[in-house]
Chains A and B, each alone.
Chain A
Amino acid sequence: MLRIECPCCGPRDHDEFRYGGDASANRPAYDDPDFEAWYRYVFVRENPAGLHREYWQHVIGCRQWLVVERDTRSHAIASILFARETRA
């Protein structure tokens, strides 16, 4: 099992979290009418063998959405931040 260190709750089993997909995909602005941009955001993925930025929500804890950098080969986690921090 993965242990994910929530920035405010500490390390927890992964079953306290909900996976939220690729965090490196850029979500267009809510009113962006560009079809291509939305198409890329929803459907086009890198699938890297290595570090992957991904969203996880501590859904059975503080309910914060996090950005986790995980190595897809080893599951080693390089960094974890609140999603709100990564936008600043």
Chain B
Amino acid sequence: MRRLAIGGRIDRSQQIEFTFDGRAITGFRGDTLASALLANGVRLVGRSFKYHRPRGIYSAGPEEPNALVTLGTGGRREPNRAATTVELAEGLVAESQNRWPSLNFDAQGINGLFAPFLSAGFYYKTFMGPTRRAWMFYEHFIRKAAGLGRAGEEPDPDRYDVRHLFADVAVVGSGPAGLSAALAAGGAGARVVLIEQDFAPGGSLLSDPADAESVAWLSGMFARLAEMPNVSLMTRTTAFGAYDGNVLGLVERHGSGTADPKQGQARQTLLLLRAKSIVYASGALERPLTFANNDRPGIMLASAARVYLNRFAVLAGTRVVVATDNDSAYRAAFDLAAAGAEVTIADGRAEPIHELLEQARRRGIAVRTKSRIANALGSRSVRAVTLSEPGGPATVKCDLVAVSGGWSATVHLTSHLGVKPVYREDMRTFVPGKLGAGLFVAGAVTGGFTRGGSIEEGHRAGAEASAFCGIAKSVQQPVGLELTEIDAGSHDNSLSASLRSAPLPHFVRAHDGSHTVCPEHHRPDRSEERWFANRTRAGDEKGAKFAAGKAFADLQMDVTTQDIALAHREGYESVEHLKRYTTLGMGTDQGKTSNFHALSAMAGLRSMAVPEVGTTTFRPPYTPVAIGALAGRSIGHHYKPIRRTPMHDWHVANGAEMLEGGLWMRPWFYRASGRDVNEAYVAEMRLVREAAGLMDISTLGKIDVQGSDAAEFLDRVYVNAFAKLPVGRARYGIMLRDDGVVFDDGTTSRLGERHFFMTTSTAKAADVMSRLEFLLDTAWPDLRVSVTSVTDEWAAMSVAGPNSRDILAAAFPDLDISNEALPHMGLLEEKYRDRRLRIIRLSFSGEWAYEIYVGASLGTEVWCRLMEAGAPFGLKPYGVEALGTLRIEKGHVAGPEIDGRTTLDDLGLGRMVGKRSGYVGEVLGRRAAFSDPTRPRLVGLRGVEPGRQLHAGAILFRPGEPMQGHGLGRITSATYSPTLDVWVGLGLLARESAVEGAEIVAAYPITGQTVRARVVSPIFLDPKGERLHG
């Protein structure tokens, strides 16, 4: 394994230092972590998931099952990154995973000896039923032994961003098909985004020798695209998910450890690309071969060996066995031979085409036909393979095994919307099914593996995609890549010339001109598939003969052929069951290299065809996406937007402890009232009962209702009547849902004949608004009513308490607020500094009180004016905790009682309806079930054990009854009542038990406390309302 002196697409002038397991290593710009490790002779990079077997680098892309490493340290620690997709960066810190104490000596490698216990379904069988308790004991050890990387525990200091993008045409993949599609769509005038997961664009062309003809083609394409301002190329960007509406989820990586969060630089950006049309040119992934010990370091995909050689100038072995069941691996064999390796081809087929055999012979490559690998020898590195051949087994020494079991089209994104891929027997791969409008495919993803075909197809797809967007200017197709025209004869000794000399089958277009169907003799045969299926049959003699070790179907999840046979024997035959029983395809690679063979094997075991067995479901993400990228900037302080009232800053400056309620920030209590909330709310309740308090109620929902039918509209949405409400008066109203359950309550005042001002609870404001609009748009469009949310328009405050009238008079000496001018439930519309001022006399606390509404920009000014005028009368601010407890004393229901389950009768509000009809929820509200004696009823509860607290949430039982189940009801709200010097609460209690005077036991399950209480009227204070009316 070594770096060649010349060649590759690396920049040898830029050395990059990094560490792997603490060892300092040097690579070049343009390397991946995997290529730099290989170039430095690092072959063993990790231990496997279950058996701790030594593993090396298996691929050169996102399909990598083995070479998972942990990157970074501290909060930036990122486990399970495929080394094959990590762009090498200066100072990169990489660590191998799942090994202890070290990679070379792993104490748990011994797990392999206990393999029979770790087969598929082991956990389920061993720890279900009577032994289930044992799982509790063993889980810790098993979890420690099996696994991948470990996540960091510190907070991630990096920044992640989210961007919204728009395009006419999105092209996924920048190989020949993708580039051609981008050129066609861009030339037509469409706005094009070309997406490439790699840091270098070019796709499969990057695995050609750096001086091959394809390189000039690539360069020409970039030059033409760079001239188009409407085409953008995004590299290092993975299209990880396809969503409805032709939306793609992309994640862009900005380099390892180079983004500085303090400069606002994001480590990754999540992009939501809304495209009118999408061209999927996502290519194909090579499949492995299955044989005993097929996981040994030094065994890799043939395409990967070629990428390492041609893109990274790394010769991954000097004695190479190329094992294949198709033609494509011959390209790797020829390139490796040209680079000086001694190459043997083990071709499973009986008769590879003569042309290939001839070329191999010319290069001094030995081709063994009907030859397949039975076993790989060596442990930390492959040192030989045993070949199974018609003449008996043969052993060939080697330090690199390059395998090819055919190709699977990368159909993932095309399947994310539930479009099942379809099987093409002629190509032995699943290809995309019938896609929705505006979605196109081109290149190897269609199963056509020729370059000329890909370029043509890409061009057509790009043109169709732009036409789909209504952009139809045509553009000339790029020149195809006709490598057959290159003269092979003249530069026999030059590395580069010999590399491009071969008219390889996969570059040749079929004679009938079609490019999607490979010529018959190039088709891979199905011998590999059959052999694999045979081997998985338990007890198969031929298979057992060579079964000197495990043959892995899924390298990452350590699923062997025996596990598949076991699943089959035990009835887990459907692919979805197979997947879950064996964990096949459930690793971070999602079975990109393993699924096809395993599904074929199951097909073989069941004597079915591959399409009958089907595939498992493809879901986003295509490759792993960091949670941080999904969260973006919506973390910490920015987790959600914060809503502040107009007086917010005053509260904070004046010692309020703020409380989140929904998105709102509200004053919970003021620290001047007490050391903690319990002390403060009692003091603030006393303040309101004995002098006066000022409360910010700006969070109430406020809705302006106008129009000649406004009164009729309100009559229909409220259970109680509003049509006869006089102008200048307010009324408490209740709304039901269509099913008769209470929806919300609030006060609505009449500003004019056709004009009302509605308030809703803080929590339901948005729902009520939307519901009113729904009724007007869908049910009663004939009503002339306009509804508009004015929640933000008004600052609102409530001054409550016996001194409130004096305070209001002092603050607004020009206003007549006498009992006659402003009676209980009366409304004044006045001006304050030429701006609207609304005063409504109504009370939530049971005290004499006013609600004052003023334009939001004047909120703080009016608040301060009231505070100043009220100081001589003892006015102080109070918070939501006291607001919530004052109303309990008064028996007013609120959110805890109006909980989406209670009816008017449950809440004792049935009398509000009278004999009215024609309101929302009326008919279903009269359901017989709502009169059932087990329905709850609102009651008051008065503690009878002095000093013992009643808790909201406590369950109510009859004294002496066993305290089990849901009891007879529950306490919904509770408070200490300074007026009564006793704990009081509101509760919902079964009607048959809701007898005033009865004793009840409240059990609070969180602390296990039980407290006795007496059922009383829910109105604890001033039942005649004398405080309100004076």
Q: Are A57 and B923 in contact (CB under 8 A)?
A: no
Say yes or no for A31: interface residue by CB 8 A criterion. Answer: yes
Q: Are A3 and B774 in contact (CB under 8 A)?
A: no
Say yes or no for B418: interface residue by CB 8 A criterion. Answer: yes
> In the complex, which residues 18-37 of chain A have their Cβ closer than 8 Å to any Cβ of chain B?
18, 20, 23, 27-28, 30-35
Say yes or no for B216: interface residue by CB 8 A criterion. Answer: no
Say yes or no for A8: interface residue by CB 8 A criterion. Answer: no
Q: Are B779 and A64 in contact (CB under 8 A)?
A: no
Residue in A33, A34, A39, A87 whose CB lies within 8 Å of B917: A33
Say yes or no for B770: interface residue by CB 8 A criterion. Answer: yes
The interface bits of chain B over 623-666 (1 if a CB of A lies within 8 angstroms of the residue's CB, else 0) are 00000000000000000000000000000000000000000000
| Assembled-state Cα–Cα distance A47/B244 (Å) | 21
A75/B778 contact (C-beta < 8 A), A3-B274, A30-B716 known: no
Q: Are B770 and A55 in contact (CB under 8 A)?
A: no
| Assembled-state Cα–Cα distance A45/B538 (Å) | 51
A1/B924 contact (C-beta < 8 A), A42-B739, A57-B770, A87-B781 known: no
Number of CB contacts from chain A to chain B under 8 A: 77
> In the complex, which residues 54-87 of chain A have their Cβ closer than 8 Å to any Cβ of chain B?
55, 57, 59, 63-65, 73-76, 82-84, 87
A2 to chain B, nearest CB (A): 5
Contacts of A82 in B (CB 8 A): 777
Contacts of A74 in B (CB 8 A): 417-418, 436
| Assembled-state Cα–Cα distance A57/B776 (Å) | 12
Chain A interface size, under 10 / 10 to 19 / 20 to 34 / 35 or more: 35 or more
Contacts of B738 in A (CB 8 A): 38, 41-42
Chain B interface size, under 10 / 10 to 19 / 20 to 34 / 35 or more: 20 to 34
| Assembled-state Cα–Cα distance A76/B435 (Å) | 12
* Chain B interface SS verdict (over half): loop
The interface bits of chain B over 284-310 (1 if a CB of A lies within 8 angstroms of the residue's CB, else 0) are 000000000000000000000000000
Say yes or no for A11: interface residue by CB 8 A criterion. Answer: yes
A30/B777 contact (C-beta < 8 A), A1-B245, A3-B245 known: no
Q: Are B778 and A55 in contact (CB under 8 A)?
A: yes
Q: Are A84 and B777 in contact (CB under 8 A)?
A: yes
A1 to chain B, nearest CB (A): 5
Q: Are A83 and B924 in contact (CB under 8 A)?
A: no
Q: Are A57 and B774 in contact (CB under 8 A)?
A: yes
Contacts of A31 in B (CB 8 A): 917-918
Say yes or no for B124: interface residue by CB 8 A criterion. Answer: no
Q: Are B245 and A2 in contact (CB under 8 A)?
A: yes
| Assembled-state Cα–Cα distance A54/B918 (Å) | 25
Q: Are A30 and B780 in contact (CB under 8 A)?
A: yes
Residue in A1, A35, A63 whose CB lies within 8 Å of B244: A1
The interface bits of chain B over 914-925 (1 if a CB of A lies within 8 angstroms of the residue's CB, else 0) are 000111100110
Residues of B within 8 A of A (CB): 243-247, 272, 274, 417-418, 436-437, 716, 738-739, 770, 773-774, 777-781, 917-920, 923-924, 926-927
Q: Given A1-B243, A11-B245, output 10 extra A-B contacts at Cβ < 8 Å.
A: A13-B247, A30-B716, A34-B923, A38-B924, A64-B777, A65-B774, A76-B436, A82-B777, A83-B778, A84-B777
Residues of A within 8 A of B (CB): 1-3, 11, 13, 18, 20, 23, 27-28, 30-35, 38-39, 41-43, 55, 57, 59, 63-65, 73-76, 82-84, 87
CB<8 Å pairs between A and B, sample of 16: A1-B243, A3-B244, A3-B247, A11-B245, A20-B774, A30-B716, A35-B923, A55-B778, A65-B773, A65-B777, A73-B418, A74-B436, A76-B437, A82-B777, A83-B778, A84-B781
